[in-house]
């Protein structure tokens, strides 16, 4: 479990396929202290397990299902990746509970610059729009954000300059894909109401 507060940006250094399995090696400085093999890390909002660690790199294995459900199916060497360590029971929750289970891939439709700040309009599959509420929480590439508006198949988030600087949002372009995870509370409410 994570809180959607990005700690570092890593760089995708290597993509390997071995015996039908996909491995990503991510380079990042000043982040891996305290991380051990088997620990969970949020990589652009996807919960992945570290299977190899060196001083400034770690390797994760991606299941075919993970590739199918995330933007990682189109990953390229050099991509920047938002990183967050998993929460400990004593940690401060700065965002909202993020599971690392991506619900859909969104598409950046519009970027509205507002001085040092910006707003993003992101289109999403209609099947998940019902989980997105005005002023509710959403995770985009692993970043906990507040929904500032929504339509039939899109939602809007606003980004302060600090968020643009410490996440990979600063390099986003119109047409880029992003990982979307809806607030878990919305899913539980739906499940309860169905009964």
pLDDT in tens, 151-184: 999 999 999 999 999 999 999 999 999 999 998 8
Classify the C-alpha dihedral 72-168-103-33 as positive or negative: positive
From the list 125, 48, 131, the residue with the least C-alpha distance to 84 is: 48
The answer to whether the beta carbons of residues 155 and 129 sit under 8 Å apart is yes
Give per-residue pLDDT as tens, 77-94: 999 999 999 877 666 677
Structural tokens at position 190: 């739906």
Q: Please name the residues in contact with 50: beta carbons below 8 A apart, sequence gap of 6 or more.
A: 35, 36, 37, 38, 39, 40, 41, 58, 59, 60
The answer to whether the beta carbons of residues 4 and 96 sit under 8 Å apart is yes
Find the mean pLDDT for residues 132-142.
96
| pLDDT confidence tier of residue 21, bands split at 50, 70 and 90 | confident
């Amino acid at each position: 479990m994570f809180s959607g507060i990005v700690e570092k940006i890593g760089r995708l250094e290597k993509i390997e396929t071995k015996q039908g399995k996909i491995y990503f090696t991510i380079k990042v400085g000043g982040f891996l202290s305290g991380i051990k093999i088997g620990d969970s890390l949020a990589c652009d909002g996807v919960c992945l397990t570290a299977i190899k660690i060196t001083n400034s790199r770690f390797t994760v294995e991606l299941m075919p299902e993970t590739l199918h459900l995330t933007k990682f199916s189109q990953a390229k060497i050099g991509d920047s990746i938002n990183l967050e360590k998993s929460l400990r029971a004593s940690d401060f929750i700065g965002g909202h509970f993020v599971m690392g289970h991506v619900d859909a891939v969104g598409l950046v439709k519009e970027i509205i610059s507002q001085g040092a700040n910006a707003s993003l309009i992101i289109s999403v599959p209609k099947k998940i729009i019902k989980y997105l509420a005005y002023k509710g929480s959403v995770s985009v590439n692993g970043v906990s954000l507040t929904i500032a508006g929504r339509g039939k198949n899109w939602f809007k988030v606003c980004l302060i300059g600090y968020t643009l600087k410490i996440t990979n949002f600063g390099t986003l372009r119109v047409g880029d894909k992003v990982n979307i995870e809806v607030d878990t509370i919305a899913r539980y409410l739906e499940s309860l109401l169905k009964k």
